[in-house]
Structure 1
Amino acid sequence: MKRSQQTFLIVALLLWSSLAGAAKYKIDHLEPPFWWADMRNPHLQLLVHGEDISDLSPELEYPGVTLREVTRVQNPNYLFLDLHLSSDVEPGSFEIQFKKKDKAVLTYNYELKEREPGSAMREGFNQSDALYLITPDRFANGNPGNDEVEHLAEGLNRSFPGGRHGGDIKGILDHLDYIDDMGFTSIWLNPVLENDMEEYSYHGYSTTDFYNVDARFGSNEEYLELAEAASQKSIGMIMDMIVNHCGSEHWWMDDMPMDNWINFDAEFSPTSHKRTTVQDEYASKEDLKHFNDGWFVATMPDLNQRNPLMANYLIQNSVWWVEYAGLTGIRMDTYPYSDKHFLTQWTKRIMEEYPNFNIVGEEWSVNPVVVSYWQRGKDNKDDYVSYLPSLMDFPLQSAMSSALREDETWGTGFIKLYEMLANDVLYADPYNLVVFGDNHDMSRIYTQLNEDPGLFKMAMAYVFTIRGIPQVLYGTEILMSNKGTTDHGIIRSDFPGGWEGDETNAFTGEGMAEKSLDAQNFVKTLLNWRKNQPVIHHGDLMHYAPQDGVYVYFRYNDDDMVMVVLNKNEEAVNIDTLRFHEMLTGKSSARNVLSGDSFDIGDQIEIPARSPLVLEIME
């Protein structure tokens, strides 16, 4: 072989080797996929995942962006890049070059977007709002074309209560007018992120991709479209998030960054559900570990938030969705099951970025001592500090359900509701609690109350007029029920009218039973009245000990007063106004909010049987 041929072969081999080496590397995941300039927190950490990506050395050049640290972990398929963004960094795109032996073998174009004006100071949901909770798969099927998605495991099975029924984001978008007309001012959707599980994926609580909406619900762009359309109607968007666990089919479960990414070494060990171990000064560390680190079920791996890389990943993901979708709130699932020190960091970072934002945590305990522990501003005995503004008021929900069902005795009935409110002294901000009759995880309030329309109306009147932020589960307003079963698939039944061919349409009233129409109108009337009532949003509260099956309370401020009376009796009763002289002295007339009728206040007020009375009190 001539020397020239040898030289050509050597050069060709070197070139082929170089190209083959470059071709070996690719990025399978880079998260967050983009970010924003002018965020309060200048730190941004990128998770980069790809085969043997840690062989490479990343570099970038962009004014205001500094690559401060590259973290290589146990698994060579990961890199974590710590970027610092200066306060004057401009929106734009820049290349991140991944080099081997000073040669770029891979390039990623990263974008810093411009923030929407006023994004940092966005107003979170508050006491002036009424929240409408929707399970997206069960509300309305706006796009039958996404019922089956080729790359996702579970398909449509509407005949199975636990299957996917086809509801989607388009269905919600199509019925925004209904939500608005009913008087709701915020929408809380059960999780919409990808749940690529073999079965029972419709509920959304087994996340397999933290940055993408499940294609059977729609897309990120459709979710943003819904949020923007809702905003045009002054309706906020609350995102249901989960930082405690992911789905067992999440992409990283087959290739975890390190051994302590998932609790219990990624082997299923069930949680004890002993939530009090978090506050119990006598609890053993072993009991606390099995509560905090244990998994809900084998298909929900428990995330280790004590790993700082995991913690930062979850915090950034939450901030990303707030910024991307213009959220006005977060509902955090299974709040106490996560590491409590991580929760301090998570809430602090979000509230620093968005000082007027709101987050509600799910602490499903009927003990207000346990629930109040987590609220921002609470002075805890163990010095635990939280930045969580709001919690679901499970203690009040439980007391209300019992109070309305039970016979009136010295220790049962309305006295339970009356005495539960006395526990407000435990909360740093009881007015920022979310109050409700039911949610997606419990029997419908109509079923809880033995399908008694009068008790239902009293429950709704209470939720809409007591201190706090009211929340209603989709379909509760039309008396959806689950009599004889606690199957969650039945509790989360399809909203009538959301599917082509439905004989009953609750959006239009077609085919609805008279009692359902009456309940719907009752809810609509009270909620639309509530919208413009600062006295209900922020006014003081005074209640009177229940007597003979009647419970009375007042909401009042310097300008207005509302009197609410709940009568459980099977007959109308007259109440003496003298008992309420602290509130009614000097008041001469009242307007019935539900009927619109006005009357003079005398020595007695007649309360209809088995019903609530909501009165605007005038001079």
Structure 2
Amino acid sequence: MRPIALLACLLLAWLAPLHAATLARVEPANWWVGMRHSEVELMLHGRDIAALQARTTHPGVRVLGTAALDSPNYLFVTVAIDEDAAPGELAIELLDGDAVVARHPWRIDAREPAPPRGFKTRDAIYLITPDRFANGDPSNDTVAGMREGANRADPDGRHGGDLAGIRAHLDYIASLGFTRIWPTPVLENDQASTSYHGYAITDLYRVDPRMGSNEDFRALAREAREHGIGIIMDVVLNHIGSEHWWMRDLPSRDWINHGGRFVPTNHRRTTIQDPYAAPGDRAGFTDGWFVEAMPDLNQRNPHLARYLVQNTLWWIEYAGLAGIREDTFGYADADFLSRWAKAVMDEYPDFDMVGEEWSPNPAIVAHWQRGKANASGHVPHMTSMMDFPTHIALRDALLRPDTWESGWMPLYEALANDFLYPDPGALVVFAENHDTTRLLAHVDGDLGLWKLGLAWVATIRGVPQFYYGSEVLLRGPAERHDGQLRADMPGGWAGDAANAFTGEGLDARQREAREFVRRLFNWRKGATAVHAGSLVHYAPEDGVYVYFREHEGRKVMVALNRNPADAPLALGRFAGSIGDARTGTDVLTGRRMPLGEVLRLPARAPLILELD
């Protein structure tokens, strides 16, 4: 080529745009007019876009700035949405100089009327592992392009349960007396194996196609509200799945703790508050990976922190959620957790969130609840926490022999620690969940002890949580094996021999258990003394634990008899709580009982009386 021609080509190349860019992703894909969080940082992903500028010409939407990190394939664009911005479609344009080299559709929407929010003491939560509950749409059991297909014969594999299965049985859940559903995570988990549980998320803005679609999730929430049920979403802030698309092109070197290299957490949760903890031990807890398949996120990165906050706000607004359950709570950066929870509560003041802090120590759990004044200076904003201390004490109380320091005593004394909590009445109480052995397995099939445990959960302070299938005595192994304890709900699949939803094929014990749950939690829906009442409990004696709930003159007496035989209960000791009441109505049978000098308690059974 002649020198003049070569010079002309170089000049044209210098004057022309660098390239025609292509955007693979813009997250979030939309926002809403009128949000308190009106400045949104968009994550744009596409080849070699980091050096470009961004703009939009939509009235009321302004680009405030851009930021690039280590990867040349990300651009973070902050947009401001004015209160008078018109909802509708718009484009995010990328510019190389004055030339537009890419356009990507984006959208701002009008907010829908606010649905009921939160979960209060009047509510009862039904926890579901969606893959194991009901297969409402067999066509999505195995999805082309997804790493794991359905294999119901494998206890650790995918079984095909989905959102359609939950929708099909909302009336059943409501009939049991439950007003909130907490599904374990439903977002994409495109992992090679054991992906059914949902906690190794590979796309934070997409429902797993084997569960359904984003719109299916929103439709579930809407339909649930028609049944008087709110949806609590399971959110994971600590980690992602190893097959998350980020892992193929990290936005920055510090996006994942330990540079993307597996270093296990030490699980030393006390280090967060321990004034003597070595800094390395504290970092070993928060920065270590939960397991090798779950890369640990570094929430100290401000762009990742904003991404996670916005992701939570997006799902609440998109689906009209009633609440959030946050997984592995204390494992994430503590300062971030404070900012994240505050952002949610600032946006939705009537909202409720519960965090998982799996500790038997109430001081460790109380650290995270809103209103707690912490010596560390940490300011929490979580309305609720999972009450693991009483969960552990309850399970001990049901099995340990009745002595001066055992039997019901550990549970009685666990409640005495409530002074540590800013709001003990907001805690979520439970006898079992998806990470523990089933209560029935724990008590070795003893139906009486099982009823005692559930009666305590339903009548004590706090918000009760129940695990699906226990109403028909799903038992599972005595030692924890996740895939087996998260067993398929009978009747959730075509051809099942028994059907929990219709009662067909259930044996007498299963029918008895289901009716017990139905009566207990439907009664609780209207039991204001349990929702809002004071609690007075009496030191357990001779295998019997007695406590009272009272609100505005309405009284409930609960007597839990752990003995294998009927037991006489002298009532003189409880005169101050019984007051002028002369009779009580058994809420499970409707039978009226006189309150004389002695009350006869049935063997291995709860007695719950509304005092007249």
TM bin, normalised by shorter chain, reads: over 0.9
Per the alignment, residue 103 of structure 1 pairs with 99
- 2: distance between equivalents of 1:381 and 1:107? 50
Per the alignment, residue 601 of structure 2 pairs with 607
- 2: distance between equivalents of 1:211 and 1:444? 32
Per the alignment, residue 146 of structure 1 pairs with 140
Q: Output aligned runs, 1:23-172, within 5 Å.
A: 24-118=20-114, 122-172=116-166
1:177 to 167, 171, 175: 171
- Bigger drift between 106-115 and 184-193 goes to 106-115
Aligned to 2:593, the other structure's residue is in SS state: strand
Q: Output aligned runs, 1:552-591, within 5 Å.
A: 552-591=546-585
1:232 to 202, 209, 226: 226
- 2: distance between equivalents of 1:456 and 1:20? 74
Provide, for residues 473-519 of structure 1, a one-character-per-residue CA deviation record: whole Å limited to 9, x for no partner.
11111111123442100000100100011001111111112111111
Per the alignment, residue 303 of structure 2 pairs with 309
Aligned to 1:53, the other structure's residue is in SS state: coil
- Bigger drift between 86-95 and 212-221 goes to 86-95
- 2: distance between equivalents of 1:109 and 1:158? 40
- Bigger drift between 104-113 and 83-92 goes to 83-92
Paired positions, count: 608
Aligned to 1:344, the other structure's residue is in SS state: helix
Aligned to 2:440, the other structure's residue is in SS state: helix
Aligned to 1:259, the other structure's residue is in SS state: coil
- 2: distance between equivalents of 1:281 and 1:353? 33
Aligned to 1:54, the other structure's residue is in SS state: coil
- 2: distance between equivalents of 1:291 and 1:104? 46
- 2: distance between equivalents of 1:539 and 1:350? 29
- 1: distance between equivalents of 2:509 and 2:16? 72
How much does 1:533 deviate? 1.3
8 Å contact from structure 2 (residues 17, 96) kept in 1: no
The runs of 5 or more residues in structure 1 that have no matched partner are 1-5
| Structure 1 residue 519 corresponds to structure 2 residue 489 | no
Per the alignment, residue 341 of structure 1 pairs with 335
- 1: distance between equivalents of 2:162 and 2:548? 41
Per the alignment, residue 616 of structure 1 pairs with 610
AA in 1 matched with 2:40? L
Question: TM-score of the superposition, structure 1-length normalised?
Answer: 0.96
8 Å contact from structure 1 (residues 34, 111) kept in 2: yes
AA in 2 matched with 1:344? S
Per the alignment, residue 3 of structure 1 pairs with none
Per the alignment, residue 218 of structure 1 pairs with 212
Q: Output aligned runs, 1:195-344, within 5 Å.
A: 195-344=189-338
8 Å contact from structure 2 (residues 571, 599) kept in 1: yes
Provide, for residues 522-560 of structure 1, a one-character-per-residue CA deviation record: whole Å limited to 9, x for no partner.
010010011111111111000001110011000001220
AA in 2 matched with 1:408? D
How much does 1:218 deviate? 0.5
Q: Output aligned runs, 1:505-516, within 5 Å.
A: 505-516=499-510
Per the alignment, residue 405 of structure 1 pairs with 399
| Structure 1 residue 457 corresponds to structure 2 residue 451 | yes
Aligned to 2:603, the other structure's residue is in SS state: coil
The runs of 5 or more residues in structure 2 that have no matched partner are none
Q: Output aligned runs, 1:477-492, within 5 Å.
A: 477-492=471-486
- 1: distance between equivalents of 2:439 and 2:15? 65
Per the alignment, residue 528 of structure 2 pairs with 534
Aligned to 2:50, the other structure's residue is in SS state: helix
Aligned to 1:227, the other structure's residue is in SS state: helix
Q: CA RMSD in A?
A: 1.9
- Bigger drift between 165-174 and 480-489 goes to 480-489
* Identity over aligned pairs, percent: 48
Provide, for residues 182-233 of structure 1, a one-character-per-residue CA deviation record: whole Å limited to 9, x for no partner.
1110000000000000001000000000000000000001111111100111
8 Å contact from structure 2 (residues 49, 75) kept in 1: yes
- 1: distance between equivalents of 2:152 and 2:525? 36
AA in 2 matched with 1:387? H
Question: TM-score of the superposition, structure 2-length normalised?
Answer: 0.97
- Bigger drift between 291-300 and 85-94 goes to 85-94
Per the alignment, residue 355 of structure 1 pairs with 349
- Bigger drift between 393-402 and 86-95 goes to 86-95
AA in 2 matched with 1:318? T
8 Å contact from structure 1 (residues 404, 568) kept in 2: yes
| Structure 1 residue 471 corresponds to structure 2 residue 465 | yes
- 2: distance between equivalents of 1:206 and 1:478? 29
Per the alignment, residue 420 of structure 1 pairs with 414
AA in 1 matched with 2:354? V
8 Å contact from structure 1 (residues 22, 106) kept in 2: no
How much does 1:154 deviate? 0.3
- Bigger drift between 434-443 and 34-43 goes to 34-43
- 2: distance between equivalents of 1:575 and 1:485? 36
Over 3 Å counting, the alpha-carbon distance change for 1:508 and 1:19 in structure 2 is farther
Q: After the TM superposition, which segments of 4 or more aligned residues of structure 1 sit over 4 Å from their partners?
A: 16-24
Per the alignment, residue 373 of structure 2 pairs with 379
- 2: distance between equivalents of 1:268 and 1:231? 42
Over 3 Å counting, the alpha-carbon distance change for 1:184 and 1:153 in structure 2 is same
- 1: distance between equivalents of 2:478 and 2:47? 53
- 2: distance between equivalents of 1:403 and 1:252? 46
